[in-house]
């Protein structure tokens, strides 16, 4: 059977026409999709501006379906899921981004950071720490280190926290010397609790070298020296504290009282406390002076050799309900029968004034904290009581 060239000549135009029609249909479909994707995207933005997150998520899902290769839509959708607390869906979105081979290195780092935030918000700290560690050497390195530092603090992994803080300090991301000293003090506390006194002393000495101006290493090392019977070393450390961080000396006032009584150093301790009180009157320092039986500064006058006269002198400097209540406790009143009721009322009123208050969040506590249990800030508690602020 012979092939008729006429059919070939007739078929070529038909093939061309069908191809042209198909391409026009593909172009129209592509244009329609490109129009639909921005519409859905802007619709989602409009819902976000109106704080309608459910509708915004639906709009972004529609946009992703119309344009699955756009990474920005995935980022927007993942962030929305995280804000709504749907962490599993946020993780799936960001993991999908990371699995794509066509993703740029910048977007890959961004997706890794977003995935770490998903784990953090979900409370999956081990996965978050692993995801954050992969951001070393990227544009998100600084943020990742701060987040890892917070994770190690929450888990009380002080050795890892100290290592991250050292890296941040060396990289010029801030002065983390005081934070490193706190971490070393925390490790020393654990060693001391385990009975490893020498290891605790070594850690505290290291903390003192890391932050020579920090108050906590001086106080903790002095307390340990006192417990081991080295009163001279303890007193030298607290003298150094008075010189380098005088505002923190009230925190060591009770310890100084113990050192004076056990080591026969009353005169030296009283000289240190009196000099500090003359420069910065403090209730804790005042209590230590009175506890050591220091006579009143007006002792040359008849009838003023009672150490409690220091409380009256303090009232001349500044009004203090705490000082007034402590002075009154040792007095005999005209109507002594009513003294217990009056004293109980004054003590109850003065008790809240003896608390410490965090300068960052306002959390109050009966004891001083180096690390606020409320807001997790370091060194946010002043050494002064609430009444003195």
Of 298, 191, 300, which Cα lies nearest the Cα of 311?
298
- Could you tell me whether strands 356-357 and 364-365 are parallel, antiparallel, or unpaired per DSSP bridges? antiparallel
Residue indicated by tokens 């002065």: 175
Contacts 24+ apart (CB under 8 A), 89-98: 90/114, 90/118, 91/115, 91/118, 91/119, 91/122, 94/118, 97/71
Of 263, 285, 283, which Cα lies nearest the Cα of 275?
285
Residue 33 token pair: 């999709």
100-127 per-position pLDDT tens digit: 777 788 888 988 999 999 999 888 989 9
DSSP state of 256: H
Identify any residues that bridge with 87 across adjacent strands, giving them in sequence order: none
Question: Could you give the CA distance from residue 194 to residue 263 in angstroms, rounded to a whole number?
Answer: 27
170-229 per-position pLDDT tens digit: 888 888 899 999 999 999 999 999 989 999 999 999 999 989 999 999 999 999 999 988
Whole-prediction pTM value? Answer: 0.73
Phi and psi torsions of 384, nearest 5°: -90, 150
If one compares 283 and 306, the residue with the highest pLDDT of the two is: 283
Classify the phi-psi angles of 156: left when phi > 0, otherwise alpha if psi is within -120 to 50, otherwise beta.
left
């Amino acid at each position: 059977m012979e092939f008729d060239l006429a059919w070939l000549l007739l078929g070529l135009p038909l093939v061309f026409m069908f191809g042209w029609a198909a391409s026009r249909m593909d172009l129209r479909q592509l244009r329609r999709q490109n129009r639909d994707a921005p519409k859905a995207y802007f619709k989602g933005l409009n819902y976000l501006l109106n704080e309608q997150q459910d509708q915004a998520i639906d709009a972004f899902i529609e946009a992703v379906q119309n344009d699955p290769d756009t990474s920005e839509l995935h980022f927007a959708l993942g962030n929305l899921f995280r804000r709504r607390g749907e962490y599993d869906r946020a993780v799936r979105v960001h993991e999908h981004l990371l699995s794509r081979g066509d993703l740029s290195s910048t977007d890959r780092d961004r997706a890794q950071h977003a995935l770490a935030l998903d784990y953090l918000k979900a409370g999956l700290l081990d996965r978050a720490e692993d995801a954050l560690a992969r951001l070393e050497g990227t544009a998100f390195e600084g943020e990742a280190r701060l987040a890892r530092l917070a994770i190690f603090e929450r888990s009380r992994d002080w050795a890892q926290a100290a290592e991250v803080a050292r890296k941040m300090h060396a990289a010029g991301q801030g002065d983390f010397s005081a934070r490193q000293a706190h971490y070393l003090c925390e490790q020393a506390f654990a060693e001391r609790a385990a009975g490893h006194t020498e290891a605790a002393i070594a850690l505290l000495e290291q903390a003192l070298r890391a932050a020579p101006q920090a108050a906590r290493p001086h106080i903790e090392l002095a307390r340990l020296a006192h417990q081991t019977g080295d009163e001279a070393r303890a007193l030298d450390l607290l003298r150094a504290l008075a010189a380098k961080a005088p505002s923190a000396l009230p925190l060591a006032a009770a310890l100084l009282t113990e050192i004076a009584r056990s080591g026969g150093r009353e005169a030296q301790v009283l000289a240190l406390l009196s000099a500090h009180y003359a420069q910065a009157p403090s209730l804790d320092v005042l209590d230590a002076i009175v506890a050591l039986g220091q006579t009143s500064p007006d002792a040359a006058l008849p009838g003023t050799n009672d150490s409690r006269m220091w409380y009256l002198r303090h009232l001349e400097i500044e009004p203090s309900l705490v000082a007034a209540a402590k002075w009154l406790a040792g007095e005999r009143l005209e109507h002594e029968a009513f003294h217990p009721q009056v004293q109980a009322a004054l003590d109850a009123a003065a008790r809240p004034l003896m608390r410490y208050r965090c300068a960052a969040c306002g959390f109050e506590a009966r004891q001083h904290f180096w690390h606020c249990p409320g807001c997790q800030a370091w060194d946010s508690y002043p050494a002064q009581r609430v009444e003195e602020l």
